[in-house]
Amino acid sequence: MIAFLLLAGTLAAADFRASVVKVDITPKTPQWLMGYGPRLSTGVHDPIFHKIVALDDGTTQFFLVASDLCIFSPSVYDDATKRLKQETGIDARNVWWTVTHTHSGPEVGPPGMYDVLLQGRSDHEFNKDYAEFAIVSLIQGIKDARARLAPARMGIGTGSAQANINRRARDIDGKISLGLNPDGPVDRQIGLIRLDHPDGKPLALIANYAMHGTVMGGQFMEVSGDGPGTVAAYVEGKLGVPMLYINGAAGNIAPIYSVYPSPKAGHLSEFGVLLGDRILEANRYLNAPAGPVQLQSAETFVETPRKAGMGWPVGLERYTTQDKSVRIPVRYLRLNDTVLWAAPVEMFCELAFAVRHASPFRHTFFFGYTNGWLGYLPTAKAFEEGGYEPRTSPFTPRVESDLTRAVIAYLHSMGR
């Protein structure tokens, strides 16, 4: 069953407005870090942020947030956007809250699916003060971005970087484990959206690239943006404007240096060259056309069976059905001949490939880890092979076909 909301507007270029806001959310006290086993931070290696872009075509306002966090429950997103609507009237469907997926970021709110799928990692009380700080900072940042909207232009394009690698290592007996697999599928496309002032000066850059935030491993105890945060800081230093790092279908993709005990051992700064320089190179060839910008946003729900015998967390009732199917919310944003689609899952890159290749749009970018986290979404083949991700997924092998067919069909309806 699919339900959706569609909003659209077409105006002259002068009516398109945009803004960007960067909000520091670095904790000042020790925090439980998310992504590996439970561990309390001992300090801060580098600051972390909410970065917020606002877009307005005169009819539709849209807000994109990239936060230097690992994951959070969809209930956290629901709470934040409910409060936002009460205070501003902004509808949740036009607010996408993504995370860079750094495994050195603090927990935000109750664990939700994380506690069901990865039992033992959340056997402690989450820090309510930090969760409140993160949500209040988000709401205020969106308010500020809305207030700063000003005439702008938009350019969209792609690049490529080899900073990532498939992480499903295969042993001689066929057993799959977390590691590095240079022969496995990997998505090396960089999706770029640049916002400029009317005079051509850059306003903000949005970079979409699939890569786990796991340069540092579980031994590392400091707050950090990890690889994605390092890349964003490097690009910002070169361009002088904020960069939003938007992760992609990174469920089976690691950085080429992964799970090291320290930034030096993990060659963390080298990601400025491996990925940051590739983003800057692609940006140099990106032009912002002066034509009109149209925003068209939508939401659908894809229902697919839940893994047999699996429990369901309190507070996520709207993401399941009485027959124990999972309801995956999928968001869409059409930007002229480009479409963005997003879901609160850790998806394998093969599904993003399938949608991209079948899409009727010039550019199709997948934004992963958006508006919460419902777990890994592997391919049917991966379920057969086994390994960490299928073992800790709430889905069945049917999810690949259920999701890709529904998304491709909807993109074709949008394309018409």
Question: pLDDT tens across 88-120, in order?
Answer: 999 999 999 999 999 999 999 999 999 999 888
Residue 138 belongs to a domain: yes
Residue 118 lies in a domain: yes
- Beta bridge pairs of residue 207: 192, 245
Q: Is residue 124 part of a domain?
A: yes
Give CA–CA dist 288/155, Å, rounded: 4
* Amino acid found at 276: G
Question: What total of structural domains would you count in the chain?
Answer: 1
Mean pLDDT, the chain, integer:
94
Please check the confidence at residue 8 and state whether its pLDDT lies above 60. no
Nearest 5°: CA angle at 33, between 21 and 266?
A: 85
Alpha carbon distance 396, 363 (integer Å)? 29
Give the model confidence (pLDDT) of 318-371 as tens digits. Answer: 999 999 999 999 999 999 999 999 999 999 999 999 999 999 999 999 999 999
Residue 122 confidence (pLDDT): 83
pLDDT at 292: 87
The pLDDT-based confidence of 7 (bands split at 50, 70, 90) is: very low
- Please check whether residue 145 is in contact with residue 63, taking contact to mean a CB–CB distance below 8 angstroms: yes
Model confidence pLDDT, tens digit, residues 265-278: 999 999 999 999 99
Residues shown for the chain? 416
What is the pLDDT averaged over residues 9-21? 69
Q: What is the pLDDT of residue 337?
A: 93
pLDDT in tens, 48-70: 999 999 999 999 999 999 999 99
Structure tokens that stand for 349 in this block: 């890159």
Mapping DSSP onto H, E and C, the string for the chain reads CCCCCEEEEECCHHHCEEEEEEEECCCCCCCEEECCCCEECCEECCCCEEEEEEEECCCCEEEEEEECCCCCCHHHHHHHHHHHHHHHCCCHHHEEEEECCECCEECCCCCCHHHHHCCCCCCCCCCHHHHHHHHHHHHHHHHHHHHCCEECEEEEEEEECCCEEEEEEECCCCCEEEEEECCCCCCCEEEEEEEECCCCCEEEEEEEECCCECCECCCCCEECCHHHHHHHHHHHHHHCCCEEEEECCCCCEEECCCCECCCCCCCHHHHHHHHHHHHHHHHHCCCCCCCCCEEEEEEEEEEEEECCCCCCCCCCHHHECCCCEEEEEEEEEEECCEEEEECCCEECHHHHHHHHHHCCCCEEEEECCECCCCCEECCHHHHHHCCHHHHCCCECCCHHHHHHHHHHHHHHHHHC
Q: Would 205 be classed as within a structural domain?
A: no
Q: What letter represents residue 286's amino acid?
A: L
Q: For residue 26, how far is the Cα from the chain centroid? A: 19
Q: Is 247 a domain residue?
A: no
Q: Given pLDDT bands bounded at 50, 70 and 90, which one contains residue 160?
A: very high
Rounded Cα–Cα distance for residues 15 and 147 (Å): 16
Domain housing 77? 15-150
At 416 the pLDDT is: 75
pTM, two decimal places:
0.95
Q: Tell me the pLDDT band of 12, cut-offs 50, 70 and 90.
A: very low
Give me the percent of the chain exceeding a pLDDT of 70.
96
What pLDDT is recorded for position 123? Answer: 85
Q: Using CA atoms, how far apart are residues 369 and 386, in angstroms rounded to an integer?
A: 22
Q: Residue 289: inside a domain, yes or no?
A: no
Q: What is the mean pLDDT of residues 196-218?
A: 97
Please check whether residue 41 lies inside any domain of the structure: yes
Q: Would you state the structure tokens that stand for residue 89, as one six-digit string?
A: 């009237």
Task: With respect to residue 210, please indicate whether it lies within any of the assigned structural domains.
Answer: no
pLDDT surpassing 60 at residue 13: no
